A and B are shown apart, each in its own frame.
Chain A
Amino acid sequence: MSSTTSTALWPWRVVTFLVWYAKEFLLANARVTADVLRPRGRQKMHPAIIAVPAASRSEAEWALISSLITLTPGTLTLTISREHQILYIHGMFVDSREELVAEIQEMEDRMLGAMRRQPGDLTRPVEAPVVTPAEPSEDGED
């Protein structure tokens, strides 16, 4: 939270976010393109669907972060849970859960820094959310 992105002036944060996102977008494109063309046995993809805790609050922030994630080739927002503050992300190159979470959260930090004049509240849920479905009441399980 005390990185340079949150303490710098607001217009500077907007510019650095746009440049950073353009760079990430092109790099991700190159990475996905290379893997599509690689022979089948040597493809590096490790797809996974990961629940990522998010710091977005308003409707606009949720809409923009999920669109930006989808726009980056190789990552895709499947759905969000505003109630639990979770983004469900399908990633194409997920070697570990932490890696994808760090990548998404860096993007969100930079995006929120660019959207808000004051960075404000950037806290995320720290515990893994327990989102098991409630037991169906009408029929018993055996």
Chain B
Amino acid sequence: MDIASFFHGAGLVLIFLGIATIIIAGIGLFRLPDLYLRASAVGTSAGLGVASIVLGALLMDFTWLNLLKAVIAVVAQLLTSAVGSMAIARTGYLNNSRPAEITHTDDLIRTRRDMFDSDAEPHR
């Protein structure tokens, strides 16, 4: 087996790993109970899936210019998915999306003035 076909096979494996990661992240959207679990688990798992597909494509067609493009694409993808997840979660918290019942500690709720009102619902 020569080196080119080895890289070709490794690239295919990475691409299919990335596809599997994205599919599992999609399943997670249905199975996880609240916004925050979905944002933290799915946002960045999907980022890893895309990064893995980009690296797989790079291995199958390696040039130095493609390496530069792949590095930029992976870094941009991971950064934007992290910032997007934070923005979504923060917006949800500010819009009174309560964490699921299994969330056992919530330090942030104590900083909210409206949750200290007597007529505010403590849950949902």
**Interface of A toward B, CB cutoff 8 Å:** 25, 29, 32-33, 36-37, 40, 45-51, 66-68, 70-79, 81, 88, 90, 92, 94, 97, 131-134, 136, 141-142
Q: A36-B27, A72-B44, A133-B110 are known contacts; what are 9 more A-B pairs with Cβ within 8 Å?
A: A45-B102, A48-B103, A48-B104, A49-B105, A50-B107, A51-B107, A67-B82, A70-B82, A76-B86
Looking across the interface, which residue of chain B has its beta carbon closest to that of A36? B28
Q: Check B44–A71 contact: CB distance below 8 A.
A: yes
Q: Check A48–B106 contact: CB distance below 8 A.
A: yes
- Residues on B with C-beta less than 8 A from A97 are 105
For B, the interface residue count at a CB cutoff of 8 angstroms equals 45
**Which of B47, B102, B109, B118 contacts A47 (CB under 8 A)?**
B102
Which secondary structure dominates chain B's binding surface? helix
Bound together, the chains give a CA A33 to CA B79 distance in angstroms of 21
**Which of B40, B78, B81, B102 contacts A90 (CB under 8 A)?**
B40
- Residues on B with C-beta less than 8 A from A36 are 24-25, 27-28, 31-32, 41
Q: Check B102–A131 contact: CB distance below 8 A.
A: no
A77 and B86 in contact, given A36-B28, A50-B107, A133-B112 (Cβ under 8 angstroms): yes
Per-position binary interface string of chain B over residues 79-110, scored 1 when its CB falls under 8 Å from any chain A CB and 0 otherwise: 10111011001100100000110111111111
Shortest distance between the CB of B5 and any CB in chain A (Å): 26
